[in-house]
């Protein structure tokens, strides 16, 4: 499964803790991330991550493009709801594409845990069928 990991600056620490805790599950999948988030994960875990541009420089849009091409299966995006982001339109566009293409999306740790446990249980296997059909 192709999973994108994204965190705003004040949520990066939370994401590192989450990724560390769920490393056994995440290591079975292909991981993608916006630039700074991805580099932090690579530095602090043993997981391989394909890094896109930093979010404000187009990383959210690159992940959105993968969704539009049916090449992304899940988004874990720890947003900071208390800080204005210069690239807010890109963030909104990414979340919108998740809804357009029915891509499972978690924007906080509670939901992310449910998603990864569901992934383990096979609840997202329909994505593989859908991705391989096109
Ligand atoms: O801004 C982001 C998502 O909108 C995250 O980008 P970075 O991972 O480069 O910090």
Q: What is the pLDDT of residues 94-130, one digit of tens each?
A: 999 999 999 999 999 999 999 999 999 999 999 999 9
The reply to whether 100 falls in a domain is yes
Question: Binding site for substrate: what residues are annotated?
Answer: 8, 12, 34-37, 54-55, 87
> Domain for residue 87, yes or no?
no
User: Is residue 117 in a domain?
Assistant: yes
Is residue 86 one of the residues assigned to a domain?
no
What pLDDT is attached to residue 131?
A: 87
Q: Give a yes or no: residue 71 inside a domain.
A: yes
Three state DSSP letters for the chain: CEEEEEECHHHHHHHHHHHHHCHHHHCCCEEEECHHHHHHHHHHCCCCEEECCCHHHCHHHHHHHHHHCCCCCEEEEECCCCCCCCCHHHHHHHHHHHHHCCCCEECCHHHHHHHHHHHHCCCCCHHHHHHHHC
Range of the domain at 17: 2-80+92-133
Q: With bands split at pLDDT 50, 70 and 90, how would you rate the model's confidence at 133?
A: confident
* Mutation pick for ligand 1 pocket among 12, 19, 36 (CB with most ligand atoms within 8 Å): 36
Q: How many domains does the chain have?
A: 1
Residue 108 lies in a domain: yes
Indicate the pTM of the whole model: 0.97
Q: How far is the CA of 16 from the centre of ligand 1 (A)?
A: 14
Average pLDDT over residues 64-80: 98
Catalytic residue among 60, 73, 80, 90: 60
Residue 75 has a pLDDT of 98
- Our answer to whether residue 9 is catalytic in this structure is no
ipTM given for this complex: 0.98
Average confidence (pLDDT) over 40-66: 97
């Amino acid at each position: 499964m192709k999973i994108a990991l994204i965190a705003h600056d004040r949520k990066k620490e939370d994401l590192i803790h989450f990724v560390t805790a769920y490393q056994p599950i995440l290591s079975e999948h292909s991981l993608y991330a916006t630039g700074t988030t991805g580099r932090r994960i690579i530095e602090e875990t043993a997981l391989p991550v394909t890094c896109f541009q930093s979010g404000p420089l187009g990383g959210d849009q690159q992940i959105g493009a993968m969704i539009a091409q049916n090449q992304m299966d899940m988004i874990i995006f720890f947003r900071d709801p208390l800080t204005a982001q210069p690239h807010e339109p890109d963030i909104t566009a990414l979340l919108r594409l998740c809804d357009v293409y029915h891509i499972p999306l978690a924007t906080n740790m509670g939901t992310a845990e449910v998603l990864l446990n569901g992934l383990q249980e096979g609840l997202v296997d329909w994505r593989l069928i859908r991705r391989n059909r096109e």
